[in-house]
Amino acid sequence: MSGQFSHFDKVGAIGGIFAAFAAATPCCLPLLATAGASLGLGFLMPYQAVSEWVFQGFAFLALFGVIVAFRRHKQLIPLLIMLGAVAAILAYYHGFRQAALVYGGLAGLLAASILNHRAAKQCKACEPGQVKAVVLESVITCPSCGTAKKELMPTDSCLFFYECSGCRKLLRPHAGHCCVFCSYGSMPCPPIQQQGSCCA
């Protein structure tokens, strides 16, 4: 479900920037007004009131995207930056007409989106297609007689001892191994497959 909203923060940030260019007035936000005019957005000046609401809507869209991303990969910094950015934008349009609030809010939108993008790329859980499925069967081969037998590996415990069905020898894990599957099996135990710690 969260994958459907994974790009909302970027769409909100980019849309918010263009809406800010359209909503900017030369008297109050000269830098944004100049940038908007150079991008050909001057024709939107008669719709400045609508553009202001569109800008705030995009800011909320970006915030929603970061909240969804936070629930997925638990990165707090982008969320805090985005909350501050949206608060600054709302403060400007609903009481405190300080240009620094809008400029800071736009910078926060961009920064939070970039940090969120980097966090998503580093999060293995965000790319389930690259996570290998856990194999639960392993063929244990006795080093003494060569008897091989397919066994089902437990997922909630370790198997420290295994009796060979051929020679009845009791197998123990090698030094540094956590279980007999890691020492004699064709596949290591499930926790090791997941790059975790066995029997932790």
Domain boundaries, the chain: 2-128, 137-193
Angle at 27 between CA 26 and CA 33, to 5 degrees: 20
> pLDDT band at 146, cuts 50/70/90?
very high
> pLDDT band at 19, cuts 50/70/90?
low
H helix intervals, 123-152: none
Cβ–Cβ under 8 Å, residues 153 and 189: yes
Q: Which tokens sit at 40?
A: 């050909």
Give the count of beta carbons closer than 10 Å to the beta carbon of residue 67: 18
Average pLDDT, the chain: 76
Write phi, then psi, for 195 (nearest 5 degrees): 60, 35
pLDDT of residue 2: 44
> pLDDT band at 149, cuts 50/70/90?
very high
* H or E element at residue 149: strand 148-152
Whether the predicted pLDDT of 119 surpasses 70? yes
pLDDT of residue 1: 42
> pLDDT band at 158, cuts 50/70/90?
confident
Average pLDDT over residues 80-105: 84
Give the count of beta carbons closer than 10 Å to the beta carbon of residue 170: 9
Whether the predicted pLDDT of 195 surpasses 50? yes
Residue 109 and residue 127: Cα distance in Å, rounded?
24
Cβ–Cβ under 8 Å, residues 102 and 17: no
Whether the predicted pLDDT of 140 surpasses 90? yes
Average pLDDT over residues 180-188: 92
Whether the predicted pLDDT of 23 surpasses 70? no
Report yes or no on whether pTM surpasses 0.85.
no
Cβ–Cβ under 8 Å, residues 103 and 49: no
Angle at 22 between CA 14 and CA 58, to 5 degrees: 40
The burial of 136, by beta-carbon neighbours within 10 Å (0-12 exposed, 13-18 middle, 19 or more buried), is given as: middle
Angle at 172 between CA 166 and CA 174, to 5 degrees: 120
Average pLDDT over residues 47-73: 77
Whether the predicted pLDDT of 16 surpasses 60? no
pLDDT of residue 82: 84
pLDDT of residue 138: 93
